[in-house]
Amino acid sequence: MSRSISDQPLGIYDDASEEAALPKIVELGIQMEQEGCRLLIVSCAADPGVRELRSRVSIPVIGAGSSAALVALSLGEPNINVEALYIAHGVMIGAGIVALVQAAILIFKRPKKSEREADDSKYTRTEGEARRSLGLGFVAYLIIALIIAIIGGLMTKMSLGMLIGFLFFAAFAAFVHEIIVGIAAMHSGWFPAFAVAFITLLFGMLIGFPPVALALLAGFSAATGPAFADMGYDLKTGYILRGNGEDPEFEKRGRKQQYMTGMIAFGVAVIVVALTYNSYFSQKLVPPIDTVYVSTIQAGTSGDVAMKLLLWAIPGAILQLIGGAKRQIGVMFATGLLIATPNACWAVLAGLLIRIVVLKVKGKEAETPMSILAAGFIAGDALYSFFNSIFKIRK
């Protein structure tokens, strides 16, 4: 038998019509099962209600869209699905572990006394003061991560033993995230915040923690990583503009002003998010990585996934070891594999090629004009993205 949902003669043609159709599809499917149907086929390319129906009825539910895609895939030329094989994720795990060791060596390695005294005379803060500041910052970051972990544990009704284990996991994840993202940003100009948060999610699922609690922790990590790296970029830019620390007192005052400006910007950002988040979510204006998080949670993990991660972690570790802490080759390679838009990769390669050619022809004097040009591109892209989002919200 064939049935259609009521009051939608035009069917499903946008997000609003799909949202309106979902409860009708589920209700109709349940009714048809009660009438004796032994199989349900949802005849719509978007497969609306298929997942919901499978959890509500005891008979098979087939989506026309996914079925057609599977047939096309079986008839087409074979290809390698990087995401399905967990290649990028495994490479990131291997590179991340090596990067963590490299970062620990940089942080905890104590230079000779003569080197420390020479460095202390060059900088506005001594090595000891820098270590204490980093330590206090990490403690604050850790406290927030533990609070989120406790909230996630209570929401998912974890046992006491699992909650304690999740707190240790959150503490370790916070440390790893801050170190890898921070070091990668300072040495290579790129912060793999989303990638490292994704690895946290995968590891947690392999251990067996509830997905909701892991999503909270991964969301916190993914949100704070770019902020942590951007603050470092801003301070480093100010340091260069102020003469690379030639006047220590001037450097301290400038740094303080930057810090106060950053705090004001944080307050403004909180207000803007509070006023606009509903509109953004209603337009589905979320980062593409969020869909990767969701699909990973829905797919679940297994021993097979763990083996794939372990296998691809080996080349990631080797790449990171060869490149060293300053180049971050392994982490950068894994991040590139996770980029879902090939055009972005071609754009980066084109930029590198132009840079190499210009430096060969013009020499070092071309550094400043190229930096200004790059800054203009970034500013233009940011302005376009901002106003494009605003226009979408108003529609």
Lowest mean pLDDT among 132-141, 212-221, 291-300: 291-300
Token pair in block for residue 52: 């919901």
**Cα–Cα distance, 140 to 134 (Å, whole number):** 10
pLDDT score of 1 more than 80: no
Average pLDDT over residues 102-106: 73
- 206-219: average pLDDT: 84
Q: Which two tokens stand for residue 361?
A: 């022809």
Q: Which residue has the higher pLDDT, 348 or 114?
A: 348
Instruction: Check pLDDT > 90 for residue 271.
Output: yes
99: confidence class by pLDDT, cuts 50, 70, 90: confident
Query: What integer is the mean pLDDT of 298-326?
Result: 79
pLDDT of residue 318: 92
Of 219-223, 266-270, 276-280, where does the model show the most confidence?
Answer: 266-270
More confident residue, 388 or 78: 388
Residue pair 84/76 in contact by the 8 Å Cβ criterion:
no
Nearest to 34 by CA among 65, 57, 11: 57
3-state secondary structure the chain: CCCCCCCCCCCCCCHHHHHHHHHHHHHHHHHHHHCCCCCEEECCCCCCCHHHHHCCCCCCEEEHHHHHHHHHHHHCCCCCCCCCCCHHHHHHHHHHHHHHHHHHHHHHCCCCHHHHHHHHHHCCCCHHHHHHHHHHHHHHHHHHHHHHHHHHHHHCCCCHHHHHHHHHHHHHHHHHHHHHHHHHHHHHCCCCHHHHHHHHHHHHHHHCCCHHHHHHHHHHHHHHHHHHHHHHHHHHHHHHHCCCCCCHHHHHHHHHHHHHHHHHHHHHHHHHHHHHHHHHHHCCCCCHHHHHHHHHHHHCCCHHHHHHHHHHHHHHHHHHHHHHHHHCHHHHHHHHHHCCCHHHHHHHHHHHHHHHHHHHHHHHHHHHHHHHHHHHHHHHHHHHHHHHHHHHHHC
Six-digit token string for 190: 């790129």
- pLDDT at 110 > cutoff 90: no
Q: In sequence order, which residues have a C-beta less than 8 Å from that of residue 270 and are 6 or more positions away?
A: none
User: What is the phi/psi pair of residue 62, to 5°?
Assistant: -115, 135
More confident of the two residues 69 and 31 = 31
CA end-to-end span of the chain: 40
Rounded to the nearest integer, the mean pLDDT of the chain is 78
- Structure confidence at residue 389 (pLDDT): 65
How far is the C-alpha of 6 from the C-alpha of 28, rounded, in Å? 10
pLDDT tens, residue by residue, 229-250: 777 778 878 888 888 888 888 8
pLDDT for 125: 74
Kindly report the pTM of this predicted structure.
Answer: 0.57
CA dist 261 to 19, 223, 230, 247, Å? Answer: 43, 20, 13, 21
Residue 264 has pLDDT above 90, yes or no: yes
Lowest mean pLDDT among 17-21, 54-58, 178-182, 368-372: 178-182
Q: Grade residue 370 by pLDDT with cuts at 50, 70 and 90.
A: confident
**Residue 337: predicted pLDDT:** 78
Q: What is the mean pLDDT of residues 219-231?
A: 74
Which has the higher per-residue pLDDT, 196 or 161? 161
> What confidence category does residue 359 fall into, taking pLDDT thresholds of 50, 70 and 90?
confident
Q: Is the pLDDT of residue 183 over 70?
A: no
Question: Are 152 and 217 spatial neighbours (Cβ–Cβ below 8 Å)?
Answer: yes
The rounded distance, in Å, linking the Cα atoms of 229 and 178 is: 9
Mean pLDDT of 284-312: 69
Query: Which residues partner with 166 through β-bridges?
Result: none
Q: Is the pLDDT of residue 394 over 60?
A: no
Closest CA to 333 of 177, 233, 227, 192: 192
Is the pLDDT at 120 greater than 60? The verdict is no
pLDDT tops 80 at residue 168: yes
Confidence of residue 257 (pLDDT cuts 50, 70, 90): very high
Least confident of 77-86, 94-103, 287-296: 77-86
